[in-house]
Structure 1
Amino acid sequence: MIDFLYSIDVAIFRFINGTLANPVTDKLMPFITDVTHWYLVYVLLWFIILFKGGKYRVGLAIGMILLVIVSDQISSSLLKNLFERARPCKVLENVHLLVGCTDSYSFPSSHAVNNFAAAMFFTYFYRHLKWILFSVATLMALSRIFVGVHYPSDVFGGALIGLVIGYSLALIYNFVLVKIYSLFEKTE
């Protein structure tokens, strides 16, 4: 059964990474997948929340920092070392590799975990942004397959893990923020 699922994973990987490859995706996907580009997006989002985020803006700006730390540590330090899955660019032949192939493990995709956690967390507080947040997260996650460093199951699993982390932290954070702000409102 595991071999069958792996063969499906490889077939989908080959379709996205090879068959769908073209000059546009070859230029666009490495740009999208580059961590320095999405850090800029997160810094911009952080400032928008801090200055235009409404009643809980300071708390949410702090929450964003905690979210990135928690989701990244769960995926990079805990789960990758638990599953120890080799990247497709390390074990498959003829991978259309558009970025460097690191020695870190493949499952789950930390890009997918972090971006879906952020999308879920901020959708909880800013529902009107859900389409843009999840579109960016999906594009980021798919870019990892296009550039040849993750299997589809790494990305799908990472997205699910990110959704759980983002929603859980949003619930906890909402509870804490409401309690803290209600204490300040009572003292005024």
Structure 2
Amino acid sequence: MMKNMNEQLFQAINRYAGQWDWIDDCMEWFAQDIVWVLLAIMAILWFSGKPNHQRLTFYACLSAAITLFVAAYFISPAVNHPRPFVGHEVNQLIPHAADPSFPSDHSILAFSLAFSVFFVLRNLGTVMLALAVLTGLARVYVGVHYPADIAGAIVLSFLVSLAVFLLRERLEPLPRLTIGLYGRIVKAIPGLPKK
């Protein structure tokens, strides 16, 4: 029953792909490039030079790395769920390898960063979560993921990001070391502004 619901919801979203060029172009961009916007936001936070923002960036990237690792080496091989375009007629707008689809890596990256920021900076985190939702929706629209792939990514990203957030005091030596090393590198490079 869940499989049928997953496929029906996929069809309800994907059936609109290929009908309007401008919507397709937007969705293709959302599906592939919003993650670069989110990464740019993290870079801005890091290069602000504010220790709290750098600490937040470290934890967000740590959350994303852990979640992607768990998904790639444990969950995805165990579930081994085929992508929608494998064995079905779909409106596929972007090329993709026929590797397992559950959970969505793009959505994991987007939601891990967004949840991590949301726990600390609510306004910015809300904007990032909206961008993450667009990423997930677009991945379904362009025909490379089922809705369950996105839902799985959201749940996994939330749980790992929350765990990292709750354990941040115990993990504190890691960002402190990273921020310290960055500070030393900046001081050693001539011509860079010193904080």
The Cα shift of 1:53 comes to 6.8
* In 2, Cα distance between equivalents of 1:82 and 1:179: 31
Q: Is 1:91 matched with 2:87?
A: yes
Counterpart residue type for residue 103 of structure 1: A
Q: Which residue number corresponds to residue 132 of structure 1?
A: 127
Q: Which residue number corresponds to residue 30 of structure 1?
A: 28
- Whether the 8 Å contact between 1:16 and 1:145 is mirrored in structure 2 is yes
Q: How does 1:36-75 map to 2 (within 5 A)?
A: 37-52=33-48, 54-75=50-71
The Cα shift of 1:39 comes to 4.7
* Matched length: 175
* In 2, Cα distance between equivalents of 1:131 and 1:164: 17
TM-score, normalised via structure 1 length: 0.82
The Cα shift of 1:157 comes to 1.6
The Cα shift of 1:136 comes to 0.5
Structure with greater helix share of residues = 1
SS in 2 for 1:31: helix
- Whether the 8 Å contact between 2:77 and 2:100 is mirrored in structure 1 is yes
* In 2, Cα distance between equivalents of 1:16 and 1:146: 6
The Cα shift of 1:125 comes to 1.4
Q: Is 1:18 matched with 2:11?
A: no
Counterpart residue type for residue 25 of structure 1: I
Q: RMSD of aligned C-alpha atoms? A: 2.4
The Cα shift of 1:174 comes to 4.7
Counterpart residue type for residue 157 of structure 1: G
TM-score, normalised via structure 2 length: 0.79
For structure 1, list consecutive stretches of 5 or more residues without a partner in the other structure: 182-188
Cα distance change, pair 180–110 in 1 and its aligned pair in 2 (3 A): closer
- Whether the 8 Å contact between 1:107 and 1:154 is mirrored in structure 2 is yes
Q: Is 1:111 matched with 2:111?
A: no
User: CA deviation digits over 1:72-126, x for unaligned, max 9?
Assistant: 1122232111100011111212x00001131210111122222111111111111
The Cα shift of 1:163 comes to 1.1
Cα distance change, pair 180–96 in 1 and its aligned pair in 2 (3 A): closer
SS in 1 for 2:101: coil
* In 1, Cα distance between equivalents of 2:100 and 2:174: 40
**Which among 121, 132, 137 is matched to residue 142 of structure 1?**
137
Fraction of identical pairs, as percent: 22
SS in 2 for 1:56: helix
Q: Is 1:82 matched with 2:78?
A: yes
Q: Which residue number corresponds to residue 191 of structure 2?
A: none
